[in-house]
Amino acid sequence: MATKRRVVVVGAGPGGLTTAMILARRGFEVTVLERKDTVGGRNAAIRMGPYTFDTGPTFLMMKNILDEVFQEAGADVDAHLQCTALDPMYRLQFPGFALHPTQDLARLKAEIEGIFPGKSGGVDAFMANESRRFKAMLPCLQMPYPSLLSLLSPRLLAVLPKLSLGKTVFENLRGYFGNDDLALAFSFQSKYLGMSAWDCPGLFAMLAYIEYATGVWHVRGGLSEISEAMATVARSHGADVRLGAEVESLRLDGRRVAAARLAGGGEVPCDDIVVNADFAWAMSNLLPPGTLRRWSPEALRRKRFSCSTFMIYLGLDRTFDLPHHTIYFAENYRRNVDDIFHRGHLSDDTSFYVRHASVTDPTLAPPGHSAVYILVPVANLRADIDWEAQRGPFRQRVLDTWRRREGLPDLEPHIRAEKVIAPPDWENDYNVHIGATFNLAHNIGQMLYLRPHNRFEELANCYLAGGGTHPGSGLPTIYESGRITANLISRKHGVAFETHNLAM
């Protein structure tokens, strides 16, 4: 590049950091502006005394995408991070039985046969069909959708018959196993997108396949270490990653973004800007009223959003005989899902997930102690729930349910550190629009061309990276969004690059 192109990235979440490290490696002058005093966003660490927790992501899938984006930034992920595939991947705790999903399919089938005689054959059909779907779909997720015409790409047209249009994830899975509980064991992953398996498009049956095919990985020290490593790599190529740098607004010059204005005063000029802050929050807060049409605050009110989560992080002075990840299904799972996604109220009987990573990773809690993370999917802030009144009682109900289901004694005397994040906290402390932790929903009407474009269609030099743009929420797809955006900016400026993203 004759003159260095200045790229400003708003937000040091996984999406922004991916773009930043790749562009910095390609010679761009990159400035990352992060409002918090640590990198990572929803993927940052929470540290309380001797205990370390991940704020959000705890399951890393498709580690190969992480390997690739590090390579494209000139780095070796395994030199920065100690990653381990978990076996079993997690425990699924149903009211009457437990399953221990593993990539060892012979073991998985034997366990299924022991509980559901004659039903394990569904595993082979599921793996074969979903593998075909995934292989056809992956390049479609890796390409950008800048125009309506891109919907006519031969790749996408070829995959259309494989999309199971008109079917839900649950229906797809029920088809393989002929049993509701088994269908649930392979379809609860819709919650990764913050959606109900009874609403989520059938093609996302491939989420469970991705787990079985590529594993569920832990990173020593927590998944937040990935964000720290990305910032290290970006800085090693000269990127300026500024913490405590809150962007108050974007200064426009016509339809171009001229600069990011900082809350403390001053501004950072840019040739191109990448918005990694939560898409809907950013569009509702960073631009002058009347700037946007398709994605205006009014238009966003008509869009569908994911659920939220109620989080409890506990540092305890005792250990537990529990696996790394356990997912607890409510007695009436369907009713709980409808409470979250349709009725918008708090269930008495709720599903939840407990992450007990200190059992395999001694860096997260001192010997004889545990770091426990509890995630409860709940309705986002569109529901009329009085969180001020509910925060304490709901926390108590969740802890009581966990104790009852595991036969644990009173936990209160053992709690040495505690933090709760309720849906309003996601909005107020993390800038997450309506507390919808997994962004815009992933219904067909909000995907591909119909999702906010990586090269943001409403402004001339603005790009997006993160869960609110294409391909969607979840770490691998977010890394992919960051890479697509880096590649689009490189191409715009005629900078040659090598990429593993074969769709570009």
Ligand X SMILES: Cc1cc2nc3c(=O)[nH]c(=O)nc-3n(C[C@H](O)[C@H](O)[C@H](O)COP(=O)(O)OP(=O)(O)OC[C@H]3O[C@@H](n4cnc5c(N)ncnc54)[C@H](O)[C@@H]3O)c2cc1C
Positions touching ligand X (CB under 6 A) are: 10-16, 33-36, 41-43, 56-59, 246-247, 276-278, 309, 375, 431, 437-438, 466-467, 473-475, 478
The distance from CA 425 to its chain's CA centroid, rounded to whole angstroms, is 18
Identify whether 14 is preceded by a cis peptide bond (ω within 30 of 0). no
* Pick 17 or 143: Cβ nearer ligand X: 17
d(CA 250, CA 253): 10
* Pick 72 or 111: Cβ nearer ligand X: 72
d(CA 338, CA 344): 8
Q: How far is the CB of 337 from ligand X (least distance, A)?
A: 17
Angle at 202 between CA 199 and CA 204, to 5 degrees: 95
Q: How far is the CB of 468 from ligand X (least distance, A)?
A: 6
* Pick 14 or 222: Cβ nearer ligand X: 14
Q: How far is the CB of 341 from ligand X (least distance, A)?
A: 17
d(CA 378, CA 492): 41
- 3-state percent helix, strand, coil for the chain, nearest multiple of 5: 40, 20, 40
Q: How far is the CB of 260 from ligand X (least distance, A)?
A: 8
* Pick 54 or 339: Cβ nearer ligand X: 54
* Pick 11 or 452: Cβ nearer ligand X: 11
* Pick 99 or 465: Cβ nearer ligand X: 465
Nearest to 91 by CA among 320, 346, 335, 370: 320
* Pick 467 or 471: Cβ nearer ligand X: 467
What three-state secondary structure class fits 428?
Answer: helix
* Pick 242 or 256: Cβ nearer ligand X: 242
Closest residue by beta carbon to ligand X: 13
Nearest to 438 by CA among 181, 204, 274, 166: 204
Q: Which CA distances in Å does 200 have to 183, 207, 467?
A: 14, 11, 16
Provide the greatest CA pair distance for the chain: 68
* Amino acid, res. 122: G
Q: How far is the CB of 65 from ligand X (least distance, A)?
A: 10
**Exposed (0-12), middle (13-18) or buried (19+): which is 21, by Cβ within 10 Å?**
buried
Q: How far is the CB of 121 from ligand X (least distance, A)?
A: 30
Q: How far is the CB of 278 from ligand X (least distance, A)?
A: 6
Partners of residue 249 on adjacent β-strands: 261
d(CA 488, CA 480): 12
Q: How far is the CB of 452 from ligand X (least distance, A)?
A: 12
